[in-house]
Amino acid sequence: MTIMTKIIQTPCRWLALVGYASMALLNACTDKFETYNTNPHEATEEMMSHDNLKTGAFFSQLQRNVVLFKDGSNMDADYQVSQGLTSDIYSGYVAPTGTWYGGVHNGSYAFITNWIETTFRSGFSSIMPAWQAIAEIAEEQGLPEVAALATIVKVEGMHRVADAYGPIPYLNYGSGSLQNDYDGLDEVYYRFFDELNESIEVLTQFVQANPNATLLEQYDLIYGGNVTNWVKFANTLRLRLAMRIVYANPTKAQQEAEQAIANPIGLITQPQERTSLKHTSNLVYYHPLFEIAYNFNAGEVRMGATMDAYLNGYEDPRRGAYFTPTVDGGYHGVRLGIVTSVWTPYVSNRISNLNVDNSTTEIVWMTAAESYFLRAEGALRNWNMGGTAQEFYRAGIAVSFDENRVGSADAYINNLTNRPIEFRDNAEGSAFHANAPNGPTIAWNEGDPFEVNLERIITQKWIAGYPDGPEGWAEFRRTGYPRLIPPVENRSNGTISNNVQVRRIPYPQSEYNNNRAGVQVGISKLGGADNGGTKLWWDKK
């Protein structure tokens, strides 16, 4: 039995031992499942007996739960607590301006119990069960290529969960084992690589044998059944995860990266190949950031201070693609960790809002630009990436400009002088300021030290990746770049250093309630206390 086709032999007993997953499937074991637990937006067993619904409906469910949005099952508020009030604000992209708790919350490192639950829940009540259902059906029907597609999406979703918490119960999921222990993050990552390797091999062979064939076209919300693009995404995802572990296991990182590059189908290279949920007749949705920025209590998120310092310092044309100008025509952010009960100055027209359209802006899992910046870093490390660091760095910026439709990048790429500027809060009456992050200039200089050019790559990668908070936060933790402005107030009671900043989010209370023994194993493998200051396995720099 392969990695992708392990099936649940004792689902209710297994999931009873794994926190949120138990909540999801124990409900399915009640006598009145059809009456109380049928989701009108997901297929029933009877529906799935027709045509390709048996795998297709679960595949759509899988994709809809990587990044949560209002789809009939999830709400925009689920996005807010799963990503918006954790990774999005810790990445430096945005800052919360809601009135909750007078500012003493996640934004000031005082974790709110209910705000650190949903990331875990979405993984173990939605992503993992949907993947498992597809794996079981694909094995029954002899469709390894369908299982491969599902596994790629699962890895994309679950690496975000693992990067938020650290050790998670992953390796034995679906094996029928009664073990409830958490797996070390290194073990989880090595399984990710195994799963991606197998999936890529299966789909590469499928594409080579069936050049024009599509898979699950009606249910694929990302690529519309284009298998070639799925292989490109999987290769690029493999490269992303390889780079993530470069300071924890550099040998493994290089091996995985070079294998990703060696695949004959290649990586994502064009804007139209980026991995995003498309707005089609099969998926009509509204971007959750629009609702949060404009409709939640007159706006509960605004441009972050670090984005202000970098985009304004670089005079970056992407400012207007990402944010709205204020009354003075400029782009102004706000710092994390402001403790106040008066937020009017921050949600008025003195602080930039997010430039997001509710019905056309796509939820993006991976930009095309990221592919080039990943290869730029690999080449900088003297890995075989098929080109030079300078070539990939410049291409990454150019492709990001294309993706954001802001014109030519030539002048920007060759700018020798601009640097991030001092951040000054534009809110009326505010006294919150911060020094300039002192980041690098833009133009590549082959003669600069390794670390200077690495900072250039990661800084531009960070700018291009907006608003993907999970990736922006992970890269800051991995490399220390860009130089994020720390919060105004730190209410962690000493568990998080203001200079080092937050490194993870604690395990959900529900896991302590439902799987305490498993959590304790996870903490032992974490290597530190279950708080926001403990570094993850790959956070070694």
201-248, pLDDT tens digit by residue?
999 999 999 998 899 999 999 999 999 999 999 999 999 999 999 999
Residue-wise pLDDT tens digits, 315-368: 999 999 999 999 999 999 999 999 988 888 888 789 999 999 988 999 999 999
pLDDT confidence of residue 31: 38
Q: If residue 200 lies in a helix (H) or strand (E), which one and from where to where?
A: helix 185-209
Residues of the chain with pLDDT under 70: 1-53, 175-180
Coil vs helix vs strand at 345: helix
| H or E element at residue 311 | helix 305-313
Per-residue pLDDT, 48 = 35
Cα torsion for 157, 161, 166, 167, to the nearest 10°?
Answer: -70
Q: How many CB atoms lie within 10 A of CB 40?
A: 7
Per DSSP, 181 falls in state: P
Whether the CA torsion 338, 342, 345, 346 is positive or negative: it is positive
Structural contact between residues 314 and 442, judged by C-beta atoms closer than 8 angstroms: yes
Give 406's DSSP letter: -
- Alpha carbon distance 418, 396 (integer Å): 19
CA angle at residue 201 from 195 to 202, to 5 degrees? 90
Domain ranges of the chain: 11-36+53-529
CB under 8 A, 24+ apart: contacts of 513-519: 513/19, 514/18, 514/19, 514/20, 514/22, 514/23, 515/17, 515/18, 515/19, 515/22, 515/169, 515/180, 517/180, 517/181, 518/17, 518/18, 518/19, 518/169, 518/180, 518/181, 518/182, 519/182
Using DSSP's 3-state secondary structure scheme, residue 424 falls into strand
Per-residue pLDDT, 237: 98
Residue 76's CB is within 10 A of a number of other CB atoms, namely: 21
Kindly report, residue by residue over 144-165, the tens digit of the pLDDT.
Answer: 999 999 999 999 999 999 999 9
* Predicted pLDDT of residue 49: 38
**CATH number at 11-36+53-529:** 1.25.40.390
The reported pLDDT for the residue numbered 466 is: 98
* pLDDT number for residue 52: 61
Burial tier of 30 (Cβ tally within 10 Å: 0-12, 13-18, 19+): exposed
What's the pTM value of the predicted model, to 2 decimals? 0.91
pLDDT of residue 8: 32
